[in-house]
Structure 1
Amino acid sequence: MVFRLAKPEDLIPGSISRYFDILSFKSDQFLDKNKDYIVPEHQDLLSASKCFCVAGLFHPPREDGTKSSKFSSIGTRFKGVLEAIRISCAGYPTNKSFTDFVNRFGLLVPEVLRTNHDKKDACQKILNNVGIPGYQIGKAKVFLRAGHMAALDTRRAERLDIAIVYIQRTTRSYLIRKRFLAMANLAVALQTLCRGKLASKMYDDMKKRSVSLKIQTNFRRYTLRSSYIRLQHAVVLI
């Protein structure tokens, strides 16, 4: 048997359509492997198995002397089982346990993850919220029809895309704000340094001006006093 993944436009009669893609196969000599007869030694070994499931599938042949009873093939022996599987797949081909279903699709209804919801009620709430028709909820599993899993996976992928975009936007905003705050703090530090340098220079200038004024004042006082003493001496002399 040869399998290959095909595109929808390549779909031909005899192909299997699955929810994730289209699976094509060749049916040449498809049933030859089911024509193998069961070896009597293998029949006895399987019938004597301690596993009741295996022993129940391989009952000892009836001693009625017919050829069909002595030489039954694997295909004819499990024909009923294969038919049951085919009917099950046609009705509800996909089933998941409540825990697996909630863990995979719980993000579609986040409140079922934040609170202690019953798993069965959580599954029903998720399916009703998404709008999936025709599902069935058993005692321990959720049974879905063909195409339901694809719809759920599509909604899950959309929700993940939205979450990824939101996370990226939030991360970019955080990084840009962090960079802006760092630049603002740097600008404030530079402004503080510049103001400090300017204040220090202004203080030095004021200090120099004050010293200069004091020198000028003392010099004028000395000059005026000298002139006054000379004048006083001249008056006394006269």
Structure 2
Amino acid sequence: MLNQSEKPVVGPLHKAGGADSQKLSVATKFKGQLFQLMQRLESTTPHFIRCIKPNNLQSPGSYEQGLVLQQLRCCGVLEVVRISRSGFPTRMSHQKFARRYGFLLLENVASQDPLSVSVAILHQFNILPEMYQVGYTKLFFRTGQIGALEDTRNRTLHGILRVQSCFRGHQARHHFKELQRGIATLQSFVRGEKTRKEYAVLLQRHRAAITIQKQIKGRNGRKTFKEISDASVVIQSG
């Protein structure tokens, strides 16, 4: 109704109020998007990369120390590194720290909470108290402390892998020897079975030969006896 008013004062006031309301809703929407963006940035671990020009010749393999140092100073990288070293640039949650380095502990602490495991790790490796700070949910380290833990972790994992490799090798050799013994037994059984079959065939042939020989000898004997008997009869009758 106010928008359709023909009064020169009422109509413009309503239109102006509508524009302000629209602007306010856009600003509120932008504020909400900005708040979501800030929440997303706070939940991540940002990494900044600065590109440094190594030389003015634009050729690979050439390094100009003065040029690179000037760029580092102008970009504020040296100051950032100095400030980073004086603070606690490395941070890690108790859960992640305990999960990553918990196996290095000499005692079993599987039943303890991540905070207790983290503190036990710090004490075992004699990390100086001024080199870290313990928070409610995170640990904060000065520069270089995580690197020392990573070196110990890598050496331990390498040793574990070597032990596992030796154990698997021992198991494989033991299994191979058992397999060799099984194959030798199987081959011996096959050869024995083959030899027994060949012997049975030879024995059967030998018995058959003896039987044939007996038949032939008996036939020859009977023939000879008949010839002798016939000759005797002839002699006696003469």
Q: TM-score, normalised by structure 1?
A: 0.52
Flag structure 2 segments of 5+ consecutive residues without an equivalent: 1-49, 54-64
> Which residue in the other structure is 1:116 paired with?
111
Give 1 or 2: higher strand fraction.
1
> Which residue in the other structure is 2:30 paired with?
none
Q: Distance in 2 between matches of 1:112 and 1:171?
A: 25
> Which residue in the other structure is 2:205 paired with?
208
Q: Distance in 1 between matches of 2:70 and 2:202?
A: 93
Deviation at 1:203, TM superposition (A): 1.4
User: Does 1:198 pair with 2:195?
Assistant: yes
Q: Distance in 2 between matches of 1:24 and 1:228?
A: 134
> Which residue in the other structure is 1:26 paired with?
72
Q: Per the alignment, do residues 192 and 136 of structure 1 end up closer, same or farther by CA in structure 2, a change over 3 Å counting?
A: same
What whole-Å deviation, never above 9, does each CA across 1:134-179 have from its counterpart, x for those lacking one? 2443322233344321210110110121123234334444555555
Deviation at 1:2, TM superposition (A): 5.6
User: Does 1:101 pair with 2:108?
Assistant: no
Q: Distance in 2 between matches of 1:224 and 1:164?
A: 88
Identity %: 19
2:155 alignment partner, one of 155, 158, 167: 158
Give 1 or 2: higher helix fraction.
2
Flag structure 1 segments of 5+ consecutive residues without an equivalent: 5-11, 13-22, 32-81
User: Does 1:129 pair with 2:128?
Assistant: no
User: Which of 189-198 and 94-103 deviates more?
Assistant: 189-198
**Secondary structure in structure 2 of the residue aligned to 1:103:** helix
> Which residue in the other structure is 1:168 paired with?
165
Q: Distance in 1 between matches of 2:70 and 2:123?
A: 33
What whole-Å deviation, never above 9, does each CA across 1:78-113 have from its counterpart, x for those lacking one? xxxx9xx95x96254433211010122123138657
What value does the CA root-mean-square deviation take over the aligned residues?
A: 4.3
Q: Distance in 2 between matches of 1:226 and 1:131?
A: 115
Structure 2 residue identity aligned to 1:194: R
Q: Is residue 93–residue 145 contact of structure 1 (8 Å, CA) maintained in 2? A: yes
Q: TM-score, normalised by structure 2?
A: 0.52
Q: Is residue 112–residue 122 contact of structure 1 (8 Å, CA) maintained in 2? A: no
The number of residue pairs the alignment matches comes to: 168
**Secondary structure in structure 1 of the residue aligned to 2:73:** coil
